[in-house]
Amino acid sequence: MAAREPVSGLTLAVGLVAVVIGFGAWWTYFDFVGRRPPRAHPTASLSWVLAHLPLTAAIAAMGAAMVSLITHAHGGRTPAAVAWVLCGGAAVVLVSTMLVAATLKAWQDDRGLYQPLARASAAAAVACLAAAAPRPAPLVLGLVIVALLSIPWTLAVSRKLATPPS
């Protein structure tokens, strides 16, 4: 699209927000479960593998929806399919990341972080789905998703800062 016609400020803004959404999905996963192995139990290992399936599918779907979000940057409302795929994908990323986290040794060792994080992620996931229904303008929808993805990060950072060094 950008190669065929000039890019407006609004299109660029939606594109930048889409990049932040992509980074948000990345950070959600890697900050909370990346580089952490599952517990040494066959059920935990199987659950770890299976929870990655919806997670990777959601990330791929979000990527496809972001292209359409940028294409419709000047629309008054985000197309229904784009809104639902993008918001549904964000919700699945949040929930699936916590499902993967539940298989980790860190889940048991740091319940003070992971239990509130799971609740916050679930609430943010529900809010993501609620954000799709009114189908706001693409820039607004993107900013709402960024704000919702930031809820778990904000919780984790605030808990980390509140914890005295050991």
Residue boundaries of the structural domains of the chain: 17-160
Token representation of residue 89: 């994908």
Q: What is the pLDDT of residues 33-52, one digit of tens each?
A: 988 889 999 999 999 999 99
| pLDDT score at 1 | 46
Report the predicted TM-score, pTM, of the whole model to 2 decimal places.
0.91
Q: Which residue has the tokens 């784009």?
A: 82
Q: What is the pLDDT of residues 20-33, one digit of tens each?
A: 999 999 999 998 99
Angle in degrees, 0-180, between the axes of helices 111-132 and 80-101, rounded to the nearest 10:
170
Q: Which residues of the chain have pLDDT under 50?
A: 1-2
| pLDDT score at 14 | 97
Angle in degrees, 0-180, between the axes of helices 80-101 and 42-71, rounded to the nearest 10:
160
Give the span between the Cα atoms of 65 and 60, in whole angstroms. 9
Closest CA to 67 of 111, 15, 127, 20: 15
